[in-house]
Structures are given as C-alpha cells and as structure tokens.
Structure 1
C-alpha cells in the first residue's frame, strides 16, 4: 500500500516528522520504493545519536582510554613523557566530525529524493501536518513520527536548574575540574567513565545499590568495583539541593554530606518528545510512560499514522530505531511486511571497563525457560600481565537446559562491544551450547573463553591461563 507518486488528494505519500536515525532510514527506504517523501527536522539532521549522543560520546570515550594506554605502555618497554590532555582540541575535532556526519545524512536524504524541510511539524489530522515556522500545511497519505526523546532532571530539587543534562554536556567549553554525575543508567555510567579518564575528579551518585538496573547482577557488581577504583562512587544516596557557592556548586546529599563541584550532570532518565505534537487532535493517547503506543508494525491507533524509535519507548537504542524505520518502509511502501524482534537485542555500555550483552540475565532466563545452566569465566586479560593493571574480564553464558540454546551472553572488559556484536549473530540464530563448544578457539584472545567454557557455574573449577 502507498506505492507510487502522490495523487491530487495528497501532496506526498509520506511525511516524516523528525530527522534522527529512525526517520532518516524510513524516508530513504520509502523513497527508494517510489514514494514521494517530505521530512521535517527543526534542529539538526542526525538526531540524538549523531548530534548529541552515541557518536560524540564514543569519541570522548576513545579520548579517555588513551590515558590507560599511555600508562600501560611502560610495562611493554615504552617510555612515554608525561601526557597532557587538551579539552578544547577534543571538543573542536569532535564537533567537526559531528558536522561532517550531519552533512552526510543530509546529502543522503537529498540523493534519495527526500524533500528536507528545516521546520517544526505538528499533526492537524490523520493526513495533515502543519509546518510551524512557515505556516504551510502538507497533506500526506501516511505520517511517520520519529521525534525521539529528551533528557529530564528528575526528581525536581531546589537548585536543580544549576545542573546540566546530556544535551548540554557537549557544549561545555572547559573541562570541569570536579564533576558530580547523578544517575545509574547508560548515560550516567558512560560519562562518569569519560570524565574520570580525562582527569576530572569525578563523583558518581546513584540512588540504588547497584548501577545499570536490568543488567546481570555480577556484571553490575564487577562494574561497581571497577568504578570504585576509578572514581568516587556513592550508592544509595540522592541529592537534596544544589546551591551556588563561590563560583562553584554545592550539592547537599541525602546522607547529610556536602560536595563542592564545578559541574553537575544529571542523567536520571529520558522522556519521549510528544509535547505540542498534536496527538490529542487525532485521538492518540499516550501510555503510562508518556510514549506513543504502537503495534508490532509501528502503527498507532490512527491507521495512517506510525511511530518509530525512542518516542515509542520500546527499546531506546539507535539501531532499534533504524530497524523500525526500515521495517515500516518495507511494510507500507515495499510490499514486504516484517516487524522488528525486540526480544533479543545486543547492546553495549561504553563504560571503562566496557560491557556487551545479548539476551537475558539469569533471573529473566529462569522465568522464561525454567532450568538454566550458567557458565562463567573471570580472568586477567593478557595485556594486564605486563601492564600491571588491576582490571579483569568477566564473561557469562546463560543456557536454557532443556533446549541447550544460548539465551544470554554477558561480557565485561576491553572490547566487550565488539565481541558481543559477533556473538549476537549466533545467539539470534538460535545457537546452542553445543554449537559454541564445537567452535575452535582463536588463541590467545579474550573471546576464546566463550567457546572453551565446559562446566556449569555450580560445579565450575577455577579458570586457568593458557
């Protein structure tokens, strides 16, 4: 449905609201099927990931990890003069790369024949959107909402306006000498690792007793131990108030202590960008999380309106938004209906040490499959034997006992994200533990541990070296 050029009843076949990863992919694929497509983006093309999310953040992660590399080099015979980090250089080069990528996104849209409009779009009815700046209306056969989400500072506290979010952190002209980061999820954990590595005196404050809720508990414990060595980690505490004090910020904590810092980064959550979108005009009611409810094909309660990405709060990850956008375009304009499987999603946390996960933790696996076997390896990476670094690697494989299927793989350590991307192919194909066992190890690597584990955790023997 929806193939071909727009008729006299419609200006375009598809109007996309939002130029992030999901919207851009949907627009390009729909256009490749011959649909006429218009896309409105009010800020910058590329969305959170490219402009103020995973891309610039990962560049900062790389910058921080050089500190460890310089230190480790001595154990391998290198004499490195005392290195010096310059925040301004990193910011300049990072921002230039973001601008370059934004240009590529824009060029790709134009080459695909998508009409890109720099404007805010709001929904007027099931087929009509209004461009706020120009006042023009556009009639579309289908409307796709791909406006993403925004960071929030919750709960509200006195002086909360003194804190910044993950949007403003990329605008900092100077590196804070002392920074307090509030939160325990992906964003808080990653930025805490970044600032600590770059030399800021970093405090990570989280109201819970472990970081990264929903992840494997042993991975969470191992990350907590690593972070306690790298920074000031304070769990089971919250902020009561923030006050200006002699050019700095005084944070009063729930345990009665005070903390004087130069910057406070609040990373306590994100909310879908639904304010002022016009959803109430067409009868779309938000769910309890404030997100747009959709079916497995990303269709809302209004048959002509679809939504993908973070605004639906299904799985707030860039690759998921891209897949949802692609599936939408294939389904609606390509005559090839398919839906994204949200059950097995590989993900990485670019903390230091890094985390990579595909599938379920032990608790979820037991609830879904009953009896499970857990295989685990904890070891010092080969590189650390000469560098003397204390970091260790943790790997876990969770297996549904009855089927022998691998239903979860959890990795903490160097290059965990790269490892999990390869492993995810096998897990999503339904690989069994026997499939892992028959795979010949690549030696010496860290990843070989995943195919050499033989004894379930209950009777597991200590892991050797070699």
Structure 2
C-alpha cells in the first residue's frame, strides 16, 4: 500500500489547497470526474457566461425603450455553447496536465472510498489501488438532487450538470424547481428560444431570498414563463422528446425536455465515511468544526460536501483555511460563515447578504427597513428602470446593519459596500454620510436606501 503525506479527494476547490508551500511533501490528488469541479465545468462559470449571452439578447429585445431600433434574429446556441466550453474545457485539461507534471504530486483518476482510518481504495479505469495518508482533505462536492417520480420513470431528463452542453435548445422546456439554478437556466433557454414552464412547490420563486425580492421577481417573470407554483410532479410519462409531467393537482405539462433543478446533495455518501470514523449531519453533510476538521483525526473537509453555505467563494475561503491549518497545526484559523453574500445572475440581477426581513421577524428582532428604487436616481432614469430596488435592514439606535438585498442591474457589484460595512462593523449612518457617493452612479440607490432608514 503506497503512503502519501497528504491526499486531497476532489479537484475543485480542493485543488486550491496545494500550493508551493507544500513542496517537499508527497501529495496525491484524487479526481473521479473533472478538474476544476462543478464551478468550472457545470456551474458558476459556464452558467454565467451563458447568462451574459442571454442578457445581451434581452438588451437587444428591449432596445426600443431607449429609442433604438434593433431586432434580435437569433441566439446561435451551438456557437455560444462551443465558445463557452471550448474555453472552460481547455482550462480543465490544463489544470490536470499541470498537476500531473509536478514531481511531488500523484494524480489518481477514479473514485475514492475509505477502507479505514486514513486509508482509501481508489477505483480506477485500470483497476483499484489502495493508498494511505498522513492527512486527508475531503472535497468531493455535491450533485443534483433528482426526485423519485423523475428518477424512477426511466425517461431522459437534464440537470445543471448536463443541460448547458446540449446541441440545441428545446422548443418546450419544463423546469422543475424555483431556486437560483432554475431561475438562471430558465432565462438562458428562454432567450435562446425555448418556451419555458416552471414547476415549483412553493408559492414564489427564489423562496430563500428576502420576501420583497421573491415577490417582485416572481411577478416580473410571470409574463416570460408559464408558472406552476405550489405544485409538485407526481409522475413523468410520455416518451423521449415528448414528455408529460403530471402535477399533484391533476394538471399536466407537455415538454420536449425536462430540466431538474430542485437542489443539490453532498457527495459524502459515496465515500464509506463510517469506515474512517467521519460523522455527518442529518442532511448528509460531513460534520466539521470551525477549523474544517472532521471527527476523524487528520481528516479535513471543505466545500459543498460539508459547508452550510454551498457557494464557490465559500469553498475557496474554506480551502484557504484548510491549507493554513495543514501547514500550521499549532496556529489554527477558523472559517466564518456568518456574513456570506450571494447573487442570482438573472435579469434583473439579485444580490443579498445577512438577514432577510422574514428572518428578523422570526427572531423577534427590533429592526427598521430602508428602501430606494432605481427609478428614483438619475442613472435609473438613464436605464429606464422601473423595477430595481435596494432594501436594507438595520437595528434602531445603533444603526447596525442586519441585512441587505438588491434586485436590479449590477446588484452583485452594488452590494459590496454593504458587505464591507457589515463585515467591518460600520453602522448605517456612518456608511451613508461619511464617504462620497458618486453622482449619477447606480451606487446612489444604496446611499438612498441607507438614508431612508428611520433609526
């Protein structure tokens, strides 16, 4: 049995753990599927590249609002897809080659599972191999969740892992789910020419978002999609290319293609964690402490397999923490998930950080709400924006910011001053009145929301 000083299982954010500071150690990286993980191959990056293409198409469609005569002839789907994945697949292959060429790193292609404390069996195309390690990092990510009525039907369906690589957009696309993945991909295919039906068990899309965001976004997209809200799929029938979804109220949806986007599950259940003494939460996430250590000595975990906030920027931060703690076991640092910003790259874009208004109510907090519309600032006039807004939540008296939510152009960028203020403890009054805010920039919507707080 070959022994390594360090084994990293998963080459997404796990690959970022190993840098030049690990020189001199015998390191192995195990990857079952693709270097770069979900983000590079089937998640954050390709979806945003295609979302931007969709936004360009929407800009052409809406050009008349700015007295510009323009006509959208078509979105060249296959060309767009090949542009996106031609670049990303090259990045993935380059990442693998670079690791394989490093003298002190062994790359194992295959799926790993624990056979005991810090021992692994790797099932490779050319046969299994057993290895052991002084320390191990579990970074195997997650996968799309597929409901039983779909999984058991024996009919084809797509997930975010596959749908962006299809050869042509379907004429009729049914999207199962109403979260951020469903919303982003629905827009991509709607702008590419698909007629979209969304089936969501909640009464609003983007349910985890602040209630104002979820309500307004749902109303905005009613004219774009056929929304079946408060509904679940009980059966999937028909045949490939002519699917029939039966909903729990007896109604049906005809579709040429089904996209399942109801959420994701961690991949820890594929690792035989019990053999290693690694415990999990009820939802399958690997349990880790503030230092990303699992219950098994010498084993760390990071990313979607363990994180309460399964986002790429969180996984990257956790990778930094793990790398430090591997190098400096006498000086551990912790990972803080308290104030993690997030964004949805639809049109309009959405961004959030901290508590929602419903969170504040549920916790019985004393809070104030500040609101400002894009349409009330000069750059909003330039954009002819009638729907965008910024909402901030703060504690009366102290002005401590509790949460912030934006819906509109550049929302993921505009929220960053609020993220900084909340992270650094800058109160709402100081943030609103101390720095200059450029006029007439979109940042004025943030300034005005802060000034609207009755503290």
Q: Same fold (TM over 0.5)?
A: yes
The CA distance in 1 between the partners of 2:21 and 2:116, in whole Å, is 22
Q: Name 1:261's counterpart in structure 2.
A: 255
Q: Name 1:294's counterpart in structure 2.
A: 288
Q: Name 1:370's counterpart in structure 2.
A: 365
Q: Where does structure 1 lack aligned partners over 5 or more consecutive residues?
A: 1-8, 460-466
The CA distance in 1 between the partners of 2:154 and 2:372, in whole Å, is 43
Q: Deviations over 1:86-129 (max 9, x none)?
A: 11111111111211221443356468753322222222222222
The CA distance in 2 between the partners of 1:160 and 1:215, in whole Å, is 34
Contact 1:376 1:456 in 2 (8 A): yes
Structural mapping, 1:154-193, within 5 Å: 154-157=147-150, 159=153, 161-193=155-187
2:39 to 41, 49, 58: 49
Contact 1:73 1:387 in 2 (8 A): no
Q: What SS class does the counterpart of residue 230 from structure 1 fall into?
A: coil
Q: Name 1:27's counterpart in structure 2.
A: 18
Q: What SS class does the counterpart of residue 402 from structure 2 fall into?
A: strand
Structural mapping, 1:38-437, within 5 Å: 38-106=28-96, 109=99, 114-133=105-124, 134-157=127-150, 159=153, 161-244=155-238, 247-335=241-329, 336-365=331-360, 370-380=365-375, 385=381, 392-437=387-432
How far off is 1:226 after superposition? 1.2
Q: 1:282 to 1:81 in 2, by over 3 A?
A: closer
The CA distance in 1 between the partners of 2:288 and 2:374, in whole Å, is 44
CA RMSD of aligned residues (A): 2.5
How far off is 1:159 after superposition? 2.8
Q: What SS class does the counterpart of residue 442 from structure 2 fall into?
A: coil
Contact 1:30 1:330 in 2 (8 A): no
How far off is 1:401 after superposition? 2.0
Q: What SS class does the counterpart of residue 218 from structure 2 fall into?
A: helix
Q: Deviations over 1:133-152 (max 9, x none)?
A: 24332221101110001102
Q: 1:421 to 1:96 in 2, by over 3 A?
A: farther
Residue 23 (structure 2) pairs with residue 16 (structure 1)? no
How far off is 1:29 after superposition? 6.6
The CA distance in 2 between the partners of 1:128 and 1:385, in whole Å, is 62
The CA distance in 1 between the partners of 2:370 and 2:230, in whole Å, is 30
Residue 441 (structure 2) pairs with residue 448 (structure 1)? no
Q: Name 1:4's counterpart in structure 2.
A: none
Q: Deviations over 1:214-239 (max 9, x none)?
A: 22100110110111122222211122
Contact 1:162 1:242 in 2 (8 A): no
How far off is 1:75 after superposition? 4.3
Contact 2:121 2:128 in 1 (8 A): yes
How far off is 1:458 after superposition? 7.5
Q: 1:300 to 1:82 in 2, by over 3 A?
A: closer
Contact 1:436 1:450 in 2 (8 A): no
The CA distance in 2 between the partners of 1:91 and 1:278, in whole Å, is 37
The CA distance in 1 between the partners of 2:447 and 2:72, in whole Å, is 40
The CA distance in 1 between the partners of 2:415 and 2:243, in whole Å, is 40
Q: Where does structure 2 lack aligned partners over 5 or more consecutive residues?
A: none
How far off is 1:301 after superposition? 1.2
The CA distance in 1 between the partners of 2:421 and 2:80, in whole Å, is 37
Q: 1:454 to 1:65 in 2, by over 3 A?
A: closer
The CA distance in 1 between the partners of 2:278 and 2:240, in whole Å, is 49
The CA distance in 1 between the partners of 2:454 and 2:400, in whole Å, is 18
Aligned residue pair count: 448
Normalised by the length of structure 1, the TM-score is: 0.89
Q: What SS class does the counterpart of residue 229 from structure 1 fall into?
A: coil
Q: What SS class does the counterpart of residue 310 from structure 1 fall into?
A: helix
The CA distance in 2 between the partners of 1:211 and 1:241, in whole Å, is 22
Q: Deviations over 1:150-170 (max 9, x none)?
A: 102124356364332211212
Q: What SS class does the counterpart of residue 352 from structure 1 fall into?
A: coil
Q: 1:10 to 1:131 in 2, by over 3 A?
A: closer
